[in-house]
Each structure stands twice: as C-alpha cells, then as structure tokens.
Structure 1
Amino acid sequence: MQPSQPEKERPVVGQWVEGLDVPVVNERAVRASAGILFLGGFSTWLWGVVTDDLQPMRIFGIVFVIEMMLRRFVGTGLTPTLLLGALITRPQRPEWVEARSKLLAWRVGSECLWRGASGDQHRHLGDQRIAARNTTDHTPGTI
C-alpha cells in the first residue's frame, strides 16, 4: 500500500498537468480564442465604420466582457471561445504555460475594458478641454 498524495484542488484558471507543479493553460488554445475574439471585434468595428451602426460593437463588447469575467471567476474550462480554441487546436501538441501570467493579462485587459466602458478616460479629457478653453483669451485683436 503506497501513501496517497494529497489531491490538488482544481484551480479557477488553468488545470493541473502531470509532471508540472503549477496550474497551466494551453497557450495554443488561448491564442486561437484570442484570434476568434479579434475576428469578432474587427468585424463589428468594420461594420460600424461602413454602416455607421454601432449596435453590433455594443453587443460584441458585452460578449467580450462576459467572456473575460468567465475566464477570471468561473474558470477557463467553461468559456465558449476557449473551448472552441481548444477544439480547433486539438490535433496540435499542447504548449503548456503557467496560468498565473494569463490571469494577470486577463485582469489588466478587464480593467482597461472597464475603464473604457465606464468613461473614466473621457471625463479626464473633458476636464482638460474645459480648463484649456477657460484659460484662452477670446478678446478681439489678441494673438
């Protein structure tokens, strides 16, 4: 009877792979899912440029936020584009990378997206424009 190893708890981001001491993700599947998201984002942006209809971009933004939140809080095994990316890259040999770096990148991306969606950067730009407008001398004949 050999001593049983303590069972490792399932990480939220990544998975345990035999022979590796840290949770990992398949880099190929992650890149494929990033390509899928890029294709969706670029397509909706192009649609908006051509037709002046921004509704598809809004819908894609919601889908993107849901995808990132699922990756961060529910797990990488349950996100639609990551599952599709894993399916696409199934014939290839997995390229395992540490999950912690991906989690950091997804946190940064989520934060940037949140800042953009909440309008924080526009508020600060607006304050600068108002300040510049108030300091400009508008009297006739001045340069």
Structure 2
Amino acid sequence: MNIKEFFGYGEKVPGYEVRVLNEREARAAAAILFVGAFIGLTNGVMLGTAIFSEYFVTFFAIDFTIRVIQPRYSPSLLLGRFFVRHQKPEYVGAAQKRFAWVLGMILAWPMFYYLVIDFQPNPIKVLVCLICMALLFFESAFSICLGCKIFNLVKKEKATHCPGGVCEMNIKEPIQRFNPIQKTILIITMVLITYGTYAYITKLPDRTQLVKKLKIMMMSNQQIQALEDAKADAEFEKDDF
C-alpha cells in the first residue's frame, strides 16, 4: 500500500463514485461504545465511582481521533467489523461519516480532560455525556447519523450514499407513512415518555439511591457544597441537643 492510498479516507468500491465505509460495522461500533458509556454512567450513579468512565473516555477520545485520521485502524470499528463480518456490507459515503466523527472527537477530548486529567463533575459534563450516548444510540438502533445531517447543512456539496438511502430517497413507501390514528398514538407515546422521564428525575421523592445520585449529578459544585454545609449544620444542631 502506497502513502497516497494509506491516507485515502474510505475505501474504493466499484459502482460508487465516492469513497465509502461500511455502515454495518459503524453501527456495530456505535452499539459497543454505547454499552461502554452506559456502564460508565451507571457505575457513577449507583457505585459513586468514575474509574470505568475514565478508562472508557480515554478509549473513546483516542478511538474517534483514529477514525478521523484513518478509520480502517479504529479499534471500535474493527470490533464492529468482527461481529458483522458475515453480513453483506452497506456502503455509505465516507465524507459525511468523517464529519460526524469530527464532532464526536470535539466532544470527546474536553470530556477526557474534565474526567481524567482534572476531575470536575458538573451538570454540563453530564449533559455532554448524555448527548454522546444519544448520538451513539440513534446510530446503533435506528441508523440515524445526526452528524451526517449537519454535514448537509454546512457543506455546499450534498452527501451521497447516506445510511438507509435518506440522501437519495424523496418519496416514502406506504409502509413508512402514518395515518391519523398512528400519528395520535405516536404523539401520545412520546409525550408520556418525556413526562415520565422528567417526573422520575425531578418529582419523585428521594426514596432510591438512583434518584438521589441523579439529582446530585445535575447540581453545580456550589449547590453540592451548600447541600453538604446544610447537612453539617443539621448534624451540629442535632449534637447540641
């Protein structure tokens, strides 16, 4: 392999006018990373430790940097390739995937600094973590690459060969459409899920450690310090009596 081919982004496949990547292995890799992020989050919430998250975020940042430079050597993509090696490839344009992975890398390195180098948990970092998990989930579960959609908004040359053929598909098949009853059920379901999540985090009494941890994670350092001071004052007054 010559130097030019080594740095060529994506693979040349007959019948495709642009370099492409295998969407199946990208989805598998997203699922693997989502599981890692979920384990790290649950460890932080339930066990109060960020050790797993520190290792995972380090791997995540390095992996996405490799993806941006040359995806054929990305550890997570190679893992994904192993699991889907017997499936027929689904080719997608490499340019928009690279753009999406650049966005992932931009999120990853600040997280690395604030979780590994200078550990400072706060609501913004929790939100960034949840955004990363949402992006991974949407890609692995629904083959929706949100970064690829942003690519079409900022680039003059529109993307081609997108996941699921969304760049080329202009007319939906009958099975993809919603009738009025289906739309109503869908809207009600989404509203109930959204309200249920909000109520679980903010309205339920602190009867479980999970709810307590979630509330603390959404507090700033000043709020956490004020809470600890209030507890210390309460303990001091209790001792006086």
Fold shared by both chains (TM-score > 0.5): yes
Contact 2:54 2:112 (C-alpha < 8 Å) held by counterparts: no
Matches within 5 A, 1:3-14: 9-14=5-10
- What is the aligned partner in structure 1 of residue 61 from structure 2? 65
Q: How many residues align?
A: 114
Equivalent position to 1:99, from 79, 82, 94: 94
The structure 2 residue matched to 1:29, chosen from 21, 25, 28, is 25
C-alpha displacement of 1:11: 4.7
Question: In the alignment, is residue 113 of structure 1 matched against residue 113 of structure 2?
Answer: no
Matching of residues 15-54 of structure 1 within 5 Å: 15-54=11-50
Asked if 1:89 is matched to 2:84, the reply is yes
- Alpha-carbon offset, residue 10 of structure 1: 4.5
Q: How many Å separate the matches in 1 of 2:17 and 2:9? A: 14
Q: State the AA in 2 paired with 1:104.
A: F
Shift of residue 116 of structure 1?
A: 4.3
Distance apart, 1:91 and its partner CA? 1.6
Q: 1:43 to 1:118 in 2, by over 3 A?
A: closer
CA distance 1:10–1:18, shift in 2 (3 Å): farther
Higher relative contact order structure (alpha carbons within 8 Å, sequence separation ≥ 6)? 1
- Secondary structure of 2:5's match? coil
Greater fraction of residues in helix: 2
Runs of 4+ in 1 over 2 A off after TM superposition: 8-13, 112-119
What letter corresponds to residue 89 of structure 1 in structure 2? V
In structure 2, list runs of 5 or more residues that go unmatched.
115-123, 126-221, 223-241
Contact kept? 1:13, 1:71, Cα under 8 Å:
no
SS at match of 1:93: coil
Q: Deviations over 1:75-124 (max 9, x none)?
A: 111111101111111121110000001001011111123344556x78xx
Superposed CA RMSD? 2.1
Shift, 1:55, TM fit: 1.6
Tell me the alpha carbon deviations over residues 36-72 of structure 1, each in whole angstroms, 9 at most, x when there is no partner: 0010111111111111011211111100001001111
Separation in 2 of the partners of 1:92 and 1:22? 22
Paired position in structure 1 for 2:73: 78
The 1-side partners of 2:8 and 2:52 are apart by 30
Unaligned runs of 5+ in 1: 1-7, 123-128, 130-143
